[in-house]
Each structure stands twice: as structure tokens, then as C-alpha cells.
Structure 1
């Protein structure tokens, strides 16, 4: 008689990972030595019984119990430093980190909504009650890469809470997965710290890497030497930032700021006069933009 057959005599609710997981939270999950996943209703278990079962069965979290085989392989590769699994490796992949403001959002519903964005099911790993990782796998040459623009707004309206995405670069090397994930998580932290928006890529945080590496004493010297005369002119600083983010295109920036082109040009000239930085030239534009990102105004 197998272990599971013996357990069935003690726990009538036992199931072999066949619930469809509509009510998987009602169960406590275990893994047998043969990698079978079994669930027993929590109301049939007390602490003593759980401890006894844990001697010869491996306890699992509810998320682990519902993982697909591919998600288990990714989890092992990323978190357990195990060898690269034989799982039919994708041609390329990238990490899409997501964070949900509302901790009470149901994970199953959120996962289903996120999966619906993709043409095929992608591995999804939860890292906390509100954070997780989607591994976007590219398996064929004609497979479309997911475009996330506007997706955060759609999902936020569906769940009545804000959702933020941070997207890594694509890579084809499985041996780099753990390293790239750590870099991506670091980038997501920078995006959150600087409140960069709901959909941010690895490219968007590169300027902030330089900013965050600048010692405070050095920044104070820059502020005193160059921006002392305009530090408190918030309107001017905002205008110059929009001008630079518009590719130094006066007409485009004026449109974004709802002002006349000549008024914008006046402010640009005023900034150049006050700071000595010619933001119409590349060098002056780079220096100024990095400084503006550092400022809080």
C-alpha cells in the first residue's frame, strides 16, 4: 500500500494536486519523495499532525503547490543555485517585475489577468504578497514581444489599485539568469525610490545610477557653483527639464508646457545666462539634465 493510500484512511480530503486550485488555500500542501504534490484540508490537521507529516513529507506553500513544472525549474535556477534544468530553453527571455499596491488583491485573479496579456502562458513567480516576476520567454522567431505601454493603466482600472512594472533586457544565456534578476531587482528599487512611473525599463534608470553614486558633498559643490542663482526657481527648472526631455525641440516643449515658443526660448536663454551652461549644446544638456534629476523641486 502506498503512502498516499495510507494517508487517505486518516485524511478523507486528501487530493493529488487535482483541485483546479479554486480552493487551494483551504489545503495544506506536501510533496512526497516521488515528487507528487498532495493536499489535505487544514480543518483535518492539528499542529501535532502537521509536524508528524512533515517528517516524511516536504511541506509546501500554497504558491509552490500550484507552480507549473516550468515555474519550478525557474525557481530552482534563480533561488536554489541548482544546475541549469533540461526544460527546452527559450531562444531568449527577460524578467518583468510587477508590484501591486493593494496587498489584499487575490493572487489567483492577478495571475490570471497578467497571463492574459501574453499570447501564451509565461512562468510567474511570486516574491511577496504584492510582488512577483514574469519570465517572458521567446521561443520562436515570429513571436511578438510584449508591449507594456498602457497596460498598467488598464490593469489598475480593473483592480482599483496601482500596478508598477520594471522590465529587464533580453538575454539568451541561462547561466546569467540569477545575475540579471538581481540587477533587475536593483533597478526596480531605484525606479520606486525616484517614483519614475508605472512602466519602467532598465534603460530608464541608467542616469539615476550615476546620480546615486554621486557623494552628497560633491553634489553640494555642484549646486553652489552652478545652480545657486536659480535653485529656488522651480518653474524655470521644470521648464528646462521638459525642454531637454523633448530633445531640445523648442516647439515640442512649448506645446507640452502650453506656452508660446518665444516665452520658452526666453526661459532657456535665462537659464544659460544664470548658470553658464549652454543647454543647446550636448555637453551642457547632459550636465544639466543629470543635475535636474538629482534635484527635488
Structure 2
């Protein structure tokens, strides 16, 4: 209860109206088991920051931040923590948004928790992910699976983006990376511009979506993300 939060904070001499952010560090703690002490070593002497283990895999840091701290500063803290685990690719760090009162710390934790999960689906190449960087991924993550299946069926009929060959998928991803720029995409793929146009025309015939049209491109991008989310959720079921 809210009153308990403030009474407990007063008893423990914890300031209530201070800017804080929550970090979650997911570790592979079945090895040495000294990850908690490693993380605590960074924050030694800083009695306004709190470090604790949530369960066998997750450590949280509730860090006090200054008014001048930017998103880059928050990310720098995450990088310092990550530096403790050099060579360990199993480490994932996520953090929520900065909150102004102690009652909102739980919100920052929930955001960090979501960032950790969503990051594994859409940003698997990153060890550090911020809630603010999730974009549309955090909306897709909250969609019920039946709705996702219905959406994919409406867009692709009986097909799935997984049915496309490697060349087509590479072309699509590179086209999105280059903000739908035909010239730059063909240059990076080392193909003639006309070859790229031919591939896009072929894709339009099979799906009814022209990736050179912004609205179609958005639909296609969302569909790819939805399929990725569905596949991830299926692995959890197993």
C-alpha cells in the first residue's frame, strides 16, 4: 500500500522525492555466483543507490540520477555494468524511464522488465536495451497471439514471411535499413538498380504490397515483427 511505502522509506531514511531509474541485469548465475558482488562493487560508497538480487538470474539496481543526466548517461551506466562481465554473451541489461517519486520506482522496474523481454525478440544483437528504445516492439509484445495470427493471415493469405527465400529476405531487410532508398540499397547489395526494382516488383505481385510505398512498407515491417514475436512465444511454450 502507498502509505506503507512512505512509512517504510521514512523508517529506513530513504528520500522519497528523488529521481531514480531501475536497471535489470540478467545473468547466467549457475557458474561462479559472484555476479551480485560484482555489480555492488560499482556502487560501493553510494548509499543512495540500491543493488539486490530478485531471483537466481536477475539483479536490479535502483539508481539515483541527477536532473542533468541524459539518456546517454543512463546508457553509460549500463555499459559500465556490462564491462564487469567481459566475454560473457549471456548478460542482458535493460532499464526503464526515470521516475520522480519512490511510489513510481515499481513502474520503472516493470518498464525495465518489459525491455528485457522485448529486447530478446526484436533487438537480439544488443546486450543493453532501454525501454524508451523499444518503439513499436512494445505494442506488438502486448498483442494476443490469436490477433497476431489473424493479422498475418489477412496480410499474407496462407503464406508467411518465413516462406520467402534468403535473397528476398536480405533484400527486404536492407531496403528497410536504408529507409526505402532504392539507389543506396542496390549499392550495398552490389546489384544493379534494375535488379532491385525487379525483386520489389516480384514481391509486390506475390504479396500485393509495394515496399516503395510508405504505407505498404509499414504494413510489411509490422508483419515481419509480428511473425518474429509469434515465433519467440512459440519457443517459450516448448
Q: Deviation of residue 172 (structure 1)?
A: 1.9
Change (3 A) 1:223 1:178: closer
Alpha-carbon distance between aligned partners in 2 of 1:265 and 1:150, rounded to the nearest angstrom: 41
Alpha-carbon distance between aligned partners in 2 of 1:195 and 1:142, rounded to the nearest angstrom: 25
Counterpart residue number, 2:234: none
The residue matched to 1:166 in structure 2 has which SS?
strand
Counterpart residue number, 2:203: 271
Change (3 A) 1:153 1:122: closer
Change (3 A) 1:280 1:211: same
The alignment yields a C-alpha RMSD, in angstroms, of 3.8
User: Which of these residues, 60, 64, 68, is aligned with residue 137 of structure 1?
Assistant: 64
The residue matched to 1:280 in structure 2 has which SS?
coil
Q: 1 or 2, which has the higher helix percentage?
A: 2
User: Which of these residues, 98, 101, 105, is aligned with residue 173 of structure 1?
Assistant: 101
* Structure 1 residue 241 corresponds to structure 2 residue 173: yes
Structure 2: runs of 5+ lacking an equivalent: 232-238
Alpha-carbon distance between aligned partners in 2 of 1:269 and 1:261, rounded to the nearest angstrom: 14
Q: Deviation of residue 109 (structure 1)?
A: 4.5
Q: How many residues align?
A: 216
| Cα deviation 1:85-121 (Å, max 9, x = unaligned) | 45345752221111112432313552256549xx998
The residue matched to 1:145 in structure 2 has which SS?
helix
Q: Deviation of residue 226 (structure 1)?
A: 2.9
Q: Deviation of residue 165 (structure 1)?
A: 0.8
Alpha-carbon distance between aligned partners in 2 of 1:253 and 1:109, rounded to the nearest angstrom: 47
User: Normalization by structure 2: what TM-score?
Assistant: 0.68
* Structure 1 residue 281 corresponds to structure 2 residue 213: yes
Determine which structure has greater relative contact order: mean sequence separation of CA pairs < 8 Å that are 6+ residues apart, divided by chain length: 2
Structure showing greater Rg: 1
Change (3 A) 1:142 1:286: closer
